């Protein structure tokens, strides 16, 4: 007895091909997505490299809002450190009737005094605030006399209202907070007073 060959209908063939295509497509998506998933932790670690510094300006009196503005100036200009208001604070801001000054205990930590003496002479409060934060971020005074240099301080004209760090100052801060460079860039036990009678950038604490 002879058996007739099995015939496969076109409908069954089409279903089989669709199933195979779906399987291959699923495998392609799986293998394509895997590298992206593996790369995610690297991106996460890069984001976590940003150092967050908390500051407390609750005792800065009339300069509190100015300090918040100054923090935002730095946040917009540098990538490796971010300033946020909060406690416990890495640095605190006070107000008094003396000259503005900053005591740095280590990189990112210290005390800022927003002295009214400078504003009484006509110096721009926001420039003073960003300048003093610059010391907290590891920048020394640079008395270049240029308004474009934030750290030129009072050596720039009283009329200077530039409150933004220069490109070189931005690079220096990012370098100070660049991962392994943190320890090497730290300054300890320094008091910065930007006035004519200051010896270099260091004078005895008042």
Residues belonging to the active site:
132
**Sheet architecture: strand order including 81-85:** 81-85, 51-59, 91-96, 109-115, 101-106, 190-193
Residue 147 makes CB contacts below 8 A (sequence gap 6+) with 156, 157, 160, 162
Residue 117 makes CB contacts below 8 A (sequence gap 6+) with 97, 98, 99, 100
Q: How many CB atoms lie within 10 A of CB 131?
A: 29
């Amino acid at each position: 007895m002879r058996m007739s060959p099995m015939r496969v209908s076109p409908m069954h063939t089409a279903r089989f091909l669709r199933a195979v295509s779906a399987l291959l497509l699923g495998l392609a998506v799986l293998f394509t997505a895997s590298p992206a998933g593996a790369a995610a932790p690297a991106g996460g670690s890069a984001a976590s490299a940003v150092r967050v510094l908390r500051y407390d300006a609750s005792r800065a009196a009339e300069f509190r809002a100015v300090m918040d503005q100054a923090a935002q100036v730095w946040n917009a200009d540098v990538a490796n450190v971010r300033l946020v208001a909060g406690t416990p604070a890495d640095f605190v801001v006070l107000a008094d009737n003396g000259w503005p000054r900053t005591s740095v205990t280590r990189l990112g930590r210290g005390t800022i005094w927003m002295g009214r003496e400078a504003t009484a002479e006509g110096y721009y409060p926001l420039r003073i605030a960003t300048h003093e934060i610059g010391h907290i971020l590891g920048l020394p005074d640079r008395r270049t006399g240029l308004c474009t240099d934030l750290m030129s301080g009072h050596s720039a004209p009283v009329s200077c209202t530039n409150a933004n760090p220069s490109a070189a100052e931005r690079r220096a801060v990012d370098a100070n907070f660049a991962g392994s460079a943190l320890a090497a860039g730290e300054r300890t036990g320094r008091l910065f007073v930007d006035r004519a009678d200051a010896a270099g950038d260091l004078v005895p604490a008042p």
